[in-house]
Homo-oligomer: A and B are copies of this chain.
Amino acid sequence: MDTVEIYEVGPRDGLQNEARESPVAEKVALVDTLSTAGFRRIECASFVSPKWVPQMAGSAEVLAGITRAPSIRYAALTPNMRGFEDARAAGADEVAVFGSASEGFSRANVNASIDEALERFAPVVEAARAIDLPVRGYVSCVVECPYDGAVSPDAVARVADRLFAMGCYEISLGDTIGQGTPDAVARMLLAVREVVPVGRLAGHFHDTNGRALDNIDAALALGLRVFDAAVGGLGGCPYAPGAAGNVATEAVAAHLARLGYNTGLDLDVISKAADMARAMRGADKD
């Protein structure tokens, strides 16, 4: 059986976009449950200013509180050197930086152009590699941007290439607002595959339009074997309750199993974690 890895991002990308600020103890309990499910990598922290992202306050406490499985890398998002130093001090096993494929999103999200943002991340990547800490690179808005509209495959390829050349070991391509279709995703991947080996690419799909599994299929057909997902479908938008967030880990795991892929995941544990995750969402979603 061909193996496909699901990279669990619920405790970070998921919870970060939920209205409710989950207590550290709940985050620790979620990560500890996920640690028994068979994942090799779990993103569970973000060292950004709690002023901007209150949902990610307590990231150091989360990393300190979890029971670590030796086979799992616990990852943290680190947008700058301050965040990187904090993540290192907290014992993150890998860190992540992110670039946007669209100027509008980059400006709205980090108040910088794409190039400025990439320049900001370069020292983080360098510092991480100097201590042999793996760095993952995210590209956001790989299909469509809420501000600029359609994003060209070449723009995505350019940012992916930059992050890979900078030293990121894997590039996760994010359909941040879940507007991708299989055709658009395939066109994008064909362009990115030209500049980054397909074995170093991951697909990161949001299910806003209910097309995430279709987009995963399109990516599988083009050789991708790593997909980000969030248990319980965590993520979304506080002001649009009910809007879908990241594609749900349990849905991806079941889908891949049906297709005959081996994920190495225990679906019962995933199901239990999904229940915990749903309970951690904003009160209106309980």
Report which A residues bind B (CB closer than 8 A).
Answer: 17, 19-21, 54, 108, 144-150, 176-179, 208-209, 236-243, 282-284, 286
Contact = CB atoms under 8 A, between A and B. Distances in A.
A239 B237 contact: yes
A146 B208 contact: no
B146 A19 contact: yes
What DSSP secondary structure best describes chain A's contact surface? loop
B54 A239 contact: no
A147 B240 contact: no
Contacts of A209: 241-242
B243 A237 contact: yes
Nearest to A149: B283
Contact of A237 (B21, B148, B149, B237): B237
Nearest to A18: B146
Nearest to A144: B284
A284 B108 contact: no
A286 B179 CA distance: 13
26 contacts: A19-B108, A20-B146, A21-B147, A144-B284, A145-B283, A146-B238, A146-B241, A146-B282, A146-B284, A147-B283, A149-B282, A149-B284, A177-B238, A177-B239, A177-B241, A179-B284, A208-B240, A208-B241, A208-B242, A209-B242, A237-B237, A237-B240, A237-B243, A239-B240, A240-B240, A240-B243
Contacts of A238: 108, 146-147, 177
A228 to B, nearest CB: 16
Contacts of A146: 19-20, 238-239, 241, 282, 284
A209 B240 CA distance: 9
A149 B176 CA distance: 26
Contacts of A150: 283
A147 B243 contact: no
A1 to B, nearest CB: 36
Given A177-B239, A243-B243, 10 more contacts: A54-B108, A144-B284, A146-B284, A177-B240, A177-B241, A177-B284, A179-B284, A237-B237, A237-B240, A240-B243
A146 B283 CA distance: 7
Contacts of A148: 283
A4 B17 CA distance: 39
Contacts of A282: 146-147, 149
Contacts of A242: 208-209
